[in-house]
Structure 1
Amino acid sequence: MRIAISGTHRAGKSTLIEELSELLPSYVTVDEPYHQLEEEGYEFASPPSVEDFEEQLARSIADLDDDSRDMLFDRCPVDFLGYLLAHEDHDAFDLEAWLPRIRGALRKLDLLVLVGIERRDRISLSASENEALRLAVDEKLKELLLDDPYDFGVEVLEVEGSPRARAKQVLEHLRGEAR
C-alpha cells in the first residue's frame, strides 16, 4: 500500500507517521517535501511564498513517482494545494496548470489519511505560529479531500483521537481492505 498522511501544520501528521512506522516496519517513510528541500539547501521565505509552496508541490509530485510499494508519505500534493489556495497571494497560483499533474500523482496512492484539527485541539501552538492560516488550510484540505471538487478520486480516511487511536484506525482500515 502507498499511504499519504495529509493535514495542516501542527495537526499530528508526523506523530502519526512515527506510530505507523512502528506498527508497519516494512514500510518506507518519505519525509515531507519541506524537509527534503531544506536539506538540499533550498531557502524558504518567511512566511513561505507561493513559489515556495509550488516548489514543495513539485517535490511531492516527484516523490510519488517512486513506484515502490509499502510507503508512507508525510504529506501529498493536496497539502500544498491547500496552502496555495489559502495563501494571501493565491491569485498568483495557476490551479488549472497544476491540476492534471496533481490528479496523476494522486492516482499513485492507495490511501490518503486526513489528520484534521479536532474540536479540542490536541496541539499547542507557540505565539509565533499563524493560527489563522492553520485553520484556513485545515478547512481547505477537508473541502478538497472530503468534497473532492476537483475529482481527485483518491480514497480518503479521516482519523481522529490520540496518536495511537489514529494509527489503530488506519490499521483497521487496511485490514478491511485486505478482506
Structure 2
Amino acid sequence: MRIAVSGTHRVGKSTLIDELADLLPTYVTVDEPYHQMEEEGYAFTETPSVEDFEEQLARSIANLDEGPRDVLFDRCPVDFIGYLLAHEDHDAFDLDVWLPRVRSALQKLDLIVLVGIERPDRIALSASDDDAQRLAVDEKLKELLLDDAYALEVEVLEVEGSPRARAKQVLEHLPDASR
C-alpha cells in the first residue's frame, strides 16, 4: 500500500512513520519534501513563504509519481495546501490552479493517515513555535481531509493516542496482505 502520514507540524508524524517502518519492514519511507529539498540545497526563507510551500507542494506531487508499491510518505500534497490556505499571504495562492494536479496525485495513494493536534497536546512546543499557525493548519487539514471540502476523494484514517496506539490503528486498517 501507498500510505501518507499527514498533519501540522509537531504532532508526531515522523514518530508514527518510524513506528510503522518498524512494524512494516518491507515498506520504504520517503522523507518530507522540506528535508529532501533542504538536503539538495534549496534555500528556504526563515518564515516560509507562499513560494516555499508551493515548491514543497510540487515536490510532494512528484514524490507520489515515483517509488515502490509499499511506501510510507512523510506528508502529502494536502499538507501543503493546508499550510498555504492558513498562510498570512494565502491570497497569493491560487488553489484552483493546483487542484487538478493534487487530485491526480492523491489517486496514487491508498490511504492518508491524519495525525491531528490532541488535547492535552502530546508534543511540547518551543517558544519559537507558532501555535496559532499550527492550530490553523490543523483546522484546514481537517476541512480538506475529513470534511472533503474540495472533493479530494481520498481514504483518510484519523489516528490518536500514543505512537504505538496510532501505529496499531493504522495496522488494523490495512488489509492483511499489506502487512
Question: TM-score scaled by structure 2?
Answer: 0.97
The aligned counterpart of 2:5 is 5
Shift of 1:177: 8.3
Q: Which amino acid aligns with 1:32?
A: E
- 1:112-151 paired onto structure 2 within 5 Å: 112-151=112-151
The aligned counterpart of 1:167 is 167
- 1:44-59 paired onto structure 2 within 5 Å: 44-59=44-59
- 1:91-102 paired onto structure 2 within 5 Å: 91-102=91-102
- 1:10-89 paired onto structure 2 within 5 Å: 10-89=10-89
Equivalenced residue count is: 178
Q: C-alpha separation between the residues in 1 aligned to 2:173 and 2:137? A: 25
Shift of 1:67: 5.0
Residues 87-135 of structure 1 deviation map (CA, whole Å, 9 limit, x = unaligned): 0000000111000000000000000000000121100000011111000
Q: C-alpha separation between the residues in 2 aligned to 1:14 and 1:35? A: 12
Which ranges of structure 1 fall in alignment gaps of 5 or more residues?
none
Q: Which runs of 4+ in 1 moved over 2 A?
A: 175-178
Question: TM-score scaled by structure 1?
Answer: 0.97
| Secondary structure at 2:143 match in 1 | helix
Q: C-alpha separation between the residues in 2 aligned to 1:176 and 1:71? A: 16
- Distance 1:177-1:115 versus aligned 2 partners, 3 A rule: farther
Shift of 1:175: 3.7
Residues 69-88 of structure 1 deviation map (CA, whole Å, 9 limit, x = unaligned): 00000000000000000000
Q: Which amino acid aligns with 1:81?
A: I
Q: C-alpha separation between the residues in 1 aligned to 2:129 and 2:151? A: 32
| Secondary structure at 2:9 match in 1 | coil
Which ranges of structure 2 fall in alignment gaps of 5 or more residues?
none
Q: Which amino acid aligns with 1:73?
A: F
| Secondary structure at 2:73 match in 1 | strand
Pairwise CA RMSD: 1.1
